[in-house]
Amino acid sequence: MVLNEVEANPVKKNRKHTFNWDKVMPYLSIAPFYLLFLVFGLFPLVFSAYLALGKWDGIGAIQYTGLTNFSRLLQDQDFWLSIKNTLIIWSVGTFPMLFAALILAFLLNLQFIKHREFLKSVLFLPNITSVVAITILFGLIFSNMDGLANGLLQMVGLPKINWLTSPQWVRVVIASVNIWQYLGYNMIIYLTGIARIPKDYYEAAAVDGASQHQVFWHITIPQLKPIILFTIIMSTIGGLQVFSEAQVLVPSGATAQGGAMTIVYYLYKTAFTNHQFGYGSAIAWGLVALIVLCSVINWLITNSRIKGVN
Amino acid sequence: MKFKRGLFFIGLTAMVAVLAAGCGRSAQGASDKQVTLAINYYNGAISKAAIANTKAQFPKYKLQFKQVPSNEDFDTKLKASLGAKSAPDITAINDNIDDYLPYKDKFVNLQDYGTKDLAKDYVDWKWQSTMGAKGYQIAMPIDIGPTALMYNVAAFQKAGLPTDPEQVSAMIKTDADYMKAADQVKTNAKMPMFLSTVALFEDREQKVTKDLFKNGKLSLADGQLKEAWDFAIAAHEKGYTLDVKNSGSDSVNAQQKGLFGAMIKPSWSVEDLKENGVKPGEWLVAAAPGAASNAGGSYLAALKTTAHPKEAAEVIKYLTNEKNQRANFKELSLFPSNKKAYDDKFKATTNELFGNEQYNKYFIESANKRKYFRADPRSSAVQRIFEDQMQLIQDQNKKPAQAWKDAVKKAQQVD
Amino acid sequence: MSRHFSRLIVRIVLFAAVVFSIFPFYWMFVMASKPNSEIYQTPPSLLLGNELFMHIQKVITQTNFFGAMWNTIFIAVTSTLLVLFFDSLAGFAFAKLNFRGKTFLFTFLIGTMMIPGQLNIIPSFYLMDKLDWVGSYKALIIPGMANAFGIFWIRQYCRDSIPDSLLEAAKLDGCSLFRSYRSVALPIMRPALAFLALYSFMGSWNDYMWPLIILNDENKYTLMLALTQLKGIFTVDYPLVITGALLATLPLLVLFAFFSKQLIAGITDGAVKE
């Protein structure tokens, strides 16, 4: 069908012209992104790099202080603790969620499932809410005193949990907002990938008498590799920048030791609440380093793992 | 392939639309010579009635009131727009005016436009807090947040404490009295007196009479901060605190259900109590124990970038006058900083929440009692460090001595 | 027997997932329909209260709800269309075309996503101020119209799903690359585009911080900004706020219900039929 469309188009014979144009075309296609970045992205970037080397309260002149901010950062316990918090929230919120999304996508694709479209839509629904709104709701559900979660615990005779003030639980609550919002979203991404796995692969597997279990591990996962890599990288980038959930759940008195202080929250509090924009920038660059590191590790692991299965 | 052609066409149209929208905007205000003043304020800083009054008072000016969400977001926006082309002419400033005093040059000196004579009309400490330097006034005061004691009537009754506001005020006069009452509430009413350790610390912290910095060096108010700290710790250790989060649903819940005995609250909390779903008669108002606290309340300032400083100053003077402060009080419970508003009618104000109690006298007393000191812009960050450590004591039983040590260490790094 | 059993397990798992997804929405309705004084009941009551309509009315009268909704729709639709065009083109180029510096440029593009956006707010604002874009929707639409996420996504999708043979055939027929993109690649990308459209639309719909900094005129506020008018100074009337959140989500829900068949089906059903 697609080929027909191409054939139906009048064929241009002017080879020379086409040749030149095609050389430029790749650059033209990607140019908008880089132009926009040059105009809107580069200046803020350079500015925050400069800011990281100085002291600024957001109004007056920037005082150059050299690498002081970075040496302070390396010794700052709160910074390292907030990295720990972030990594915990990220891993609790990301890996089980991605795996569950993968399984849901696979299950939804099984032959005997009915109402498939309905199920897909319903599972995707959480993603269309705003983080802030949904976090307010989660805050009510998990409030320490008479939230729904504690109410249910008490109904079955279990003791209340201090969801929002215990360092362990508050991380779980923050992660759960993320799981809820992105489970269906990632499932849809995987379904997109599954849909373009050629049907004959499955048919061949069926002929060979492969179990669904084998199909999942030996066809679906290897075939989805680029998409899985995409979701892991995006979840890493997003997960390490988790902020709104933490800020809405613990709007005041959040501390690194308390568990809810993520890196971006620490950055935000330093810069926007305490007006130390220079040090805030240094934290931002610490975060960038961490994201790069995690992405590279992810990339390596995912690449080798999935190859191994193949 | 209808899809792709449609996409291209719509995309193109959209781009044109965006560009056209941009052009439309720049063409707008070019030709008219009318004085236009943009006024940014945050939710609940100015009442609708005051805005209507002002528009009626200055029919020749085009006044564009813009409501911006409060808190840090408002400050971020204000800071970003200081010196920017798109800055408003007039802006509200919250109780963190100390952050802006060092940059007085970014603001119009209102005393150039005859505000000097108005000083006697305003609460003294509030007036002083607007002075960037001697003779350089960057803002006019709108409201203040004097404090009073709000107490849980049922709890006091059970505890064997008086429940009449006059008697409560007479009995709980000092911090020591306050603590003694807490003990009674605990023993007799089997209930904590205070909402949380952090809240108690925050109240007490506001009663210090010096800044946390002295000549640019961290001084922690020469021991006064430690006194406040120890006060809160003592209450915590004796079990006088309910220890829920200060903000958010748990504190609303605790007020609604009357799960603790008393709290020191600024005047606007009257409105908050109602919003939080408290029923009439459950809480009453008495004089706050100890020294006067709370330096809250907002201001109006004109930015130096305005093309019409004179007109802006006029509007500011009008918006902060007696009449409009009364309107703010009526609509939003914003306590006037203009003393002319404290007349008999004002003193006789009642609220359905408190029956026929005339509670404003406590707030007026507190407003006049407070002494001004100028705070280093770093002070608020240092305060927060101590409050955060207190939160850890409250939530996770961190050892107070360790928490204090950690806080001091962190405070020394604030630059 | 065991087959039935495993099917039953699959159904149970899917059912649990549906409950997990739906319940918070239901709970939103419950919270929105109760007076402030009843949302802390113990044991929690799972039934709806009867103040929902009162709260809805309050939200609509206290904010410029419909105006803000229209503004948001305009911004979301415009930026989504632009994003679709620029991202699909660039994603296609990265996936299927060869050119010098591709690897470097692509790594760079991924790198830009790793910079946390929060600190950019103040310098970005200066930039917009210099451009005279403060207060204008241009500042909300143009900087994001070619974004790294979408390009990355389209590239990942295109890499394996557009057979090189098709493109070669098109080339032999004398198609320019742009025409190959339009006639060969774009139709195949459709599912990926549908997803990107959804993502981009939600993104602009729910964006808060940047519109807050940029927009000055209440008449131009987006829905998320308009809702902040509901908050008091220091307290929160939770049922009202939740009602606001619900109302802001409702148009999306309706839109989604309306288009979900096309969208989700488009996204997930067989793209390449060879």
| Model pLDDT for residues C183-204, shown as the tens digit of each residue | 888 988 888 888 899 889 988 9
Section A66-88 average pLDDT: 94
User: Please, which pLDDT band fits residue A92 given cuts at 50, 70 and 90?
Assistant: very high
- Per cent of chain C over pLDDT 90 is 35
What value does the mean pLDDT take over residues C162-173? Answer: 87
pLDDT digits (tens, 9 = 90+) for B54-65: 999 999 999 999
Whether residue B243 contacts residue B196, with contact meaning beta carbons closer than 8 Å, is answered with: yes
Tell me the pLDDT tens digit for each residue of B304-326: 999 999 999 999 999 999 999 99
Q: Which residues contact B35 (CB under 8 A, 6 or more apart)?
A: B60, B61, B62, B308, B311
Q: Tell if the CB–CB gap between B1 and A5 is shorter than 8 Å.
A: yes
CB contact under 8 A, A255 and B254: no
Any CB–CB contact under 8 A between C163 and chain B?
A: no
B36-42 and B62-68 beta bridge pairing: parallel
- The predicted model gives A261-287 an average pLDDT of 91
Q: Are B336 and B329 in contact (CB under 8 A)?
A: yes
pLDDT, residue C227, reads 81
**pLDDT the model gives residue C262:** 66
Q: How far apart are CA C161 and CA C152, in angstroms?
A: 15
Compute CA distances A36 → A30, B80, B110, C168, C256, whole Å.
11, 22, 43, 32, 31
Q: What per-residue confidence (pLDDT) applies to C235? A: 56
User: pLDDT, tens digit, for every residue of C126-145?
Assistant: 889 889 998 899 999 999 99
Domains by residue range for chain A, with CATH: 69-309 (1.10.3720.10)
Instruction: Choose from B70, B395, B406, B412 for mutation: most chain A CBs within 10 A.
Output: B395
* Tens-digit pLDDT profile for residues C45-66: 788 888 899 999 988 888 889 9
Segment B392-401 shows an average pLDDT of 94
Please give the residue of chain B at the shortest CA–CA distance from C131: B85
Closest Cβ–Cβ partner in A145, A258, A273 for B392: A258
Whether B28 and chain C come into contact, CB under 8 Å, resolves to no
Residues 6+ apart with CB under 8 A from B357: B165, B284, B285, B350, B351
Q: What is the pLDDT of residue B258?
A: 93
Nearest Cα of chain B lies from the Cα of A14 at a distance, in angstroms, of 24
**Residue B293 confidence (pLDDT):** 82
Nearest CB to A268; choose among C118, C264, C272? C118
Q: In 3D, which of A153, A132, B276, B400 has the Cα closest to residue A163?
A: A153
**Looking at the partner chain, which of C120, C152, C153 has a beta carbon nearest the beta carbon of A44?**
C120
Mean per-residue pLDDT for B164-169? Answer: 96
Q: Per-residue DSSP letters for B120-144?
A: GGB-HHHHHTTEEETTEE-EEE-EE
B96-110, B144-158, B180-194, C147-161: segment of lowest average pLDDT: C147-161
- Which pLDDT does position B105 carry in this prediction? 93
CA-based end-to-end distance of chain A: 32
Q: Among the listed ranges C6-15, C99-108, C113-122, C190-199, which one has the minimum average pLDDT value?
A: C113-122
Mean pLDDT of A87-110: 94
* Arithmetic mean of pLDDT, B320-345: 94
pLDDT on residue A158: 92
Asked if the Cβ–Cβ distance from A137 to C252 is below 8 Å, we say: no
Residue B389 forms contact with A (CB below 8 Å): yes
Amino acid code (one letter) for C188: I
Give residues 203 to 232 of C whose Cβ lies within 8 Å of B: 209, 212-213, 216-218, 225, 228-229, 231-232
CB–CB contact A59 B99 (8 Å):
yes
DSSP chain A: -HHHHHHHSPPP--HHHHHHHHHHHHHHHHHHHHHHIIIIIHHHHHHHHHHTTEE--SSSPPEE-TTHHHHHHHH-HHHHHHHHHHHHHHHHHHHHHHHHHHHHHHHHTSTT--SHHHHHHHHHGGGGS-HHHHHHHHHHHT-TTT-HHHHHHHHTTPPP--TTTSHHHHHHHHHHHHHHHHHHHHHHHHHHHHHTS-HHHHHHHHHTT--HHHHIIIIIHHHTHHHHHHHHHHHHHHHHT--HHHHHHS-SS--TTTS---HHHHHHIIIIIS--HHHHHHHHHHHHHHHHHHHHHHHHHHHHHHHHH-
| CB contact B356 to C (< 8 Å) | no
Mean pLDDT value of segment A62-90: 94
Q: Which of A5, A139, A162 sits opposite B248 (nearest CB)?
A: A139
pLDDT category at C233 given cuts 50, 70, 90 is very low
pLDDT at C228: 76
To test the contact with chain A by mutation, choose from B5, B249, B410, B414 the residue with the greatest count of A C-beta atoms within 10 A, namely: B249
Please say if the pLDDT value at position B183 is more than 90.
yes
In terms of DSSP H, where are the helices of C97-185?
Answer: 102-113, 121-131, 138-141, 148-161, 164-172, 177-180
Closest-CA residue of chain B to C36: B277
Note which residues in 222-241 of chain A have CB less than 8 A from chain C. Answer: 226-227, 229-230, 233-234, 237, 241
Shortest distance between the Cα of A49 and any Cα of chain B, in A, equals 18
The alpha carbon torsion through B283, B284, B289, B291 (nearest 10 deg) reads 100
- For chain A, what is the mean pLDDT? 86
Q: A with C: how many residue pairs have Cβ under 8 Å apart?
A: 293
> What is the pLDDT at residue B29?
43
Average pLDDT over residues B29-42: 77
Sign of the alpha-carbon dihedral angle for C87, C92, C93, C95: positive
Overall average pLDDT of the A236-253 stretch:
88
Contacts of B86 in chain C (CB under 8 A): 128-129, 132, 134-135, 216
CATH class of B147-293+374-413: alpha beta
> Over chain B, what is the mean pLDDT?
89
Taking an 8 Å cut-off on Cβ atoms, the answer to whether A166 and B395 are in contact is yes
Interface of A with C in 137-176 (CB under 8 A): 137-138, 140-141, 145-148, 151-152, 154-155
Look at residue C243 and tell me whether its pLDDT is greater than 70: yes
Residue A82: name the closest of A245, A294, A288, A266 by CA: A266
Range of weakest confidence among A125-134, A293-302, B191-200: A293-302
* % of chain C residues with pLDDT over 70: 92
pLDDT band at C238 (very low <50, low <70, confident <90, very high): confident
What pLDDT score was predicted for residue B247? Answer: 75
Burial of B227 (0-12, 13-18, 19+ CB in 10 A): middle
Judge contact between C226 and C152, C-beta under 8 A.
no
Which residue from B minimizes the CA distance to A60?
B103
The answer to whether residue B305 neighbours chain C at the CB level (below 8 Å) is: no
- Chain A residues with CB within 8 Å of chain B CB: 5, 55, 57-60, 72, 78, 139-140, 143-147, 162, 164-167, 250-255, 257-258, 272-276, 279
**Is the pLDDT reported for residue B252 higher than 90?**
no
- Where are chain B's structural domains? 37-144+296-341, 147-293+374-413
Spatial distance between the Cα atoms of A166 and A301, rounded to a whole number of angstroms: 33
Q: What does the pLDDT read at residue A5?
A: 37
pLDDT at B354 exceeding the cut of 50: yes
- The CATH H-level (homologous superfamily) assignment of domain B37-144+296-341 is Periplasmic binding protein-like II (3.40.190.10)
Question: DSSP states of A253-278 as a string?
Answer: S--TTTS---HHHHHHIIIIIS--HH
Name the nearest CA neighbour of B255 among B333, B168, B194, B167: B194
Interface test with B, best of C74, C75, C235 (most B CBs within 10 A): C235
Structural domains in chain C plus CATH codes? 63-230 (1.10.3720.10)
CA distance C32 to chain B (A): 15
Examine the pLDDT at A10 and tell me if it is beyond 50. no
Record: contact B1-C231, CB cut-off 8 A:
no
How far C228 CA sits from the closest chain A CA (Å)? 11
Question: Which residues in C lie closer than 8 A to residue A140 (C-beta atoms)?
Answer: 31, 39, 238, 242
Residue type, B127: W
Residue C252 is predicted with a pLDDT of: 85
Chain C residues within 8 A of B76 when measuring between CB atoms: 121-122, 213
Lowest pLDDT segment from B242-251, C39-48, C139-148: C39-48
- Span of A279-283, C11-15, C46-50, C52-56 with lowest mean pLDDT: C46-50
Partner A contacted by C259 (CB < 8 A): no
Rounded-to-integer distance, Cα A200 and Cα A220, Å: 13
Residue B226, pLDDT above cutoff 80:
yes
pLDDT computed for residue C231 by the predictor:
61
Which residues of chain C have a CB within 8 Å of the CB of A284? 115-116, 118-119
Predicted confidence at residue C265, as pLDDT, reads 63
SS3 content of chain B, % helix, strand, coil (to 5): 50, 15, 35
pTM, entire model? 0.87
The answer to whether domain B37-144+296-341 and domain B147-293+374-413 are alike in fold is yes
- pLDDT of amino acid B30: 41
- Residue A20's pLDDT is 65
**pLDDT at A308 exceeding the cut of 50:** no
Question: Smallest CA–CA separation between C128 and chain B, in Å?
Answer: 9
- Beta-carbon separation of A275 and B99 below 8 A: yes
Picking from A251, A255, A258, the nearest residue to B247 by CB comes out as A251
Closest CB to C169: pick one of A6, A280, A291: A6
Cβ of A6 within 8 Å of Cβ of C115? The answer is no
Please enumerate in sequence order all residues whose Cβ is within 8 A of that of A10, keeping only pairs 6 or more positions apart, or say none: none
3-state secondary structure of B23: helix
The predicted pLDDT at position C273 comes to 34
Instruction: Give chain C positions within 8 Å (CB) of B26.
Output: 132
Q: Could you tell me if C186 lies within 8 Å of chain A, comparing CB atoms?
A: no
Give the model's pLDDT for residue A202. Answer: 85
